[in-house]
Structures are given as structure tokens and as C-alpha cells.
Amino acid sequence: KAKQQGRNAYEWFTEAFTDSVSERMVLRNDLQEAIEREAFQLHYQPLIDQRGQLAGVEALLRWQHPSKGWISPSRFIPLAEATGQIIPISEWVLKRACLDMQALTLGGLGPVQVAVNLSPLQFNRASFLTTLRQTLLDTGLPPEQLSLELTEGILMDNTEAAIDTLQALRSMQISVSIDDFGTGFSSLSYLKLLPISTVKIDRSFIRELIHSGDDAAIVQGIISMAHHLGLRVVAEGVETEEQHLRLMAYQCDVFQGFGLAKPMSIEALKNFIASLSTDSSPYYEANE
């Protein structure tokens, strides 16, 4: 036990060390270069509905660093958020996602709705809606095919202005989801004030769903209350068939997780969509 803790402390130390000021400055320069060279990729993770059909995909950013390999977005997004680099990165993400969905439609595999994650800095900018409208115009993507994911924190910070922006998005026919739901401080009564369409239950509640009565109760409670408010529910982090079946029994609307499909390139997504229409049970095979 003590040894275990010692090791954790050491790992924490090295982690802190690699995230030192100079390391962050190097990463920041590398990010700048990646932005200029457009060295990012977007992967897409399928969302599957109760009937086993594609409900949409979530766009997830990937950065292959020239010497460090793949760097997780949970590591470089907070940095890009702190430096403001998130703005050009987000513009690239939005445009790429719209173009890729248009390509699916042209290839006879669409229309597919794509969910794009928003950063707080991006959402709170005065030019946010203008940039969004322009990207839809430039790419020709019908706005119903775009959905945006926001975390509870973004909405809590500046509720009045946030509600105005959400209303504008609704009038543009763009749907909005609350991401990682249950990890912030928002209550379901607060949800009724927001013009949103979907809540995504954070994967931390799905992880122990089968073995924790508490998590099972929380998940059922979120689903039932969200449905009463007219909201659609997505479960994140569905890894096993047992979790999937349990969530189906709880009337969860949509499922996302490695057990159904991992994030994949646009090329792989094309094959996935094609296989969905021919094979009725593609799940839990690619997993191991």
C-alpha cells in the first residue's frame, strides 16, 4: 500500500515535471507550428440509437506531435485554451467536421449529424455566432446536421449571455448537448431554463453502473428527469454489452463508447456506416 502510494507520488512528480513551464512553452510553440501546418486530424466516434442505427458522430481532435507521438486532447486543449490558440484550432475543427459530413452526403452515406465540442473561450467570444454562420455558408452543411457540445461550466459562468447564445443557436436549428453531465454543479431544475436538446451522462457514472447501486440510481434519475424535460439522453463510455443492455432497459436514447465503436478516421467511418446497413450486429467484435 505504502509502496503503491510512493509510486503514485513519483508518477505525479514526473507528470508535474513534464508539464513544467519550459515544457509548456515548447508545447505551445509546437502547437503553433501544428496550427500553421494544419497538422491535426479529426476522428469520429459513432453514436448508436436504441434500434442499433447511427444517431450521429462526435468529432474528436487528434494531434500527432512530430517527436512525442499522439498527444491526448485532454492535455493540449487546456493549454491551447490558456494561450488562446484554441480559437484557430476550433475554427479548423468546425470547418473540417462540416466538410467531412458534406463528403459523406455526397458519397451517399449521409446525412450524418456531427457533434463538435466547444471551448469556453470560443463560446464566449463576441464573434462566435458570426464565425459559425460563415462556416455553415462556406461548407454548405445544413445546420440541422451540426450539434454542439458544451460543458456545464461554460453555462454556469455567464448564464444570461449563455442563454442568449443558446437561443440564437436554436433559431439557427443547431442542437446543443450538455457534455459530461453530472460532473458539474448544475441541477436538473436549472436545465429546464436552457434551450438545449440533449444531455450526455458522463462516463464516470457508466463505469460502475453494473456494480454500484448508487451510480445505477443516478443514471436512472438523470434519464427519467431529462425525459420529463423533453431532452434526449446519451450515455458516454459504454464499454460492455452488459452496460449497453442495462442502459437500453433504462430507456436511454443513444449510446457512445468503445464497446460500440471507437473514434475513427473519416475513411474508417465510411466503412463503418456501410457495414451498419448490411450487418445488424457489428458490436463487441472490434473490441478485442
Local structure of 54: helix, strand or coil:
strand
**Shortest Cβ distance from residue 93 to ligand C2E (Å)?**
4
**Shortest Cβ distance from residue 234 to Mg ion (Å)?**
9
21-37 and 86-106 helices cross at what angle (nearest 10)? 40
**Shortest Cβ distance from residue 118 to ligand C2E (Å)?**
6
**Shortest Cβ distance from residue 2 to ligand C2E (Å)?**
29
**Shortest Cβ distance from residue 73 to ligand C2E (Å)?**
4
User: Residue with the closest Cβ to ligand C2E?
Assistant: 257
The C-alpha atoms of residue 52 and residue 71 are separated, in whole angstroms, by 32
Applying CB under 6 A, the span of 4-12, 100-108, 215-223, 232-240 interacting with ligand C2E comes to: 232-240
Which cell goes with 220?
436512472
189-194 CB contacts, 8 Å cutoff, 24+ apart: 191/226, 191/229, 191/231, 192/229, 193/159, 193/163, 194/155, 194/162, 194/163, 194/166
| Of positions 8, 72, 159, 271, contacts ligand C2E by CB under 6 A | 72
**Residue 60 vs 223, nearer CB to ligand C2E:** 60
Largest CA distance in the chain: 59
Which cell goes with 38?
494544419
The C-alpha atoms of residue 271 and residue 161 are separated, in whole angstroms, by 41
From the list 175, 184, 160, 182, the residue with the least C-alpha distance to 118 is 175
Q: What is each CA distance from 133 to 36, 89, 196, 201, in whole angstroms?
A: 23, 17, 19, 29
**Residue 115 vs 266, nearer CB to Mg ion:** 115
Pick what 182 binds: Mg ion, ligand C2E, none; C-beta below 5 to 8 Å, kind-dependent: none
| Of positions 47, 55, 61, 169, contacts ligand C2E by CB under 6 A | 61
182 is an interface residue for ligand C2E by CB under 6 A: no
Give the number of other CB atoms < 10 A from CB of residue 218: 15
Applying CB under 6 A, the span of 114-122, 213-221, 241-249, 279-287 interacting with ligand C2E comes to: 114-122
**Residue 75 vs 192, nearer CB to ligand C2E:** 75
Applying CB under 6 A, the span of 125-133, 188-196, 247-255, 256-264 interacting with ligand C2E comes to: 256-264
Local structure of 248: helix, strand or coil:
helix
Name beta bridge partners: 65.
69
110 is an interface residue for ligand C2E by CB under 6 A: no
**Shortest Cβ distance from residue 182 to ligand C2E (Å)?**
12
Number of residues counted as binding ligand C2E (CB under 6 A)? 23
34 is an interface residue for ligand C2E by CB under 6 A: no
**Shortest Cβ distance from residue 54 to ligand C2E (Å)?**
16
**Continuous segment of H or E residues that includes residue 87:** helix 86-106
**List of residues contacting ligand C2E (CB under 6 A):** 45, 60-61, 72-74, 77, 90, 93, 117-119, 149, 179-180, 203, 237-239, 256-258, 263
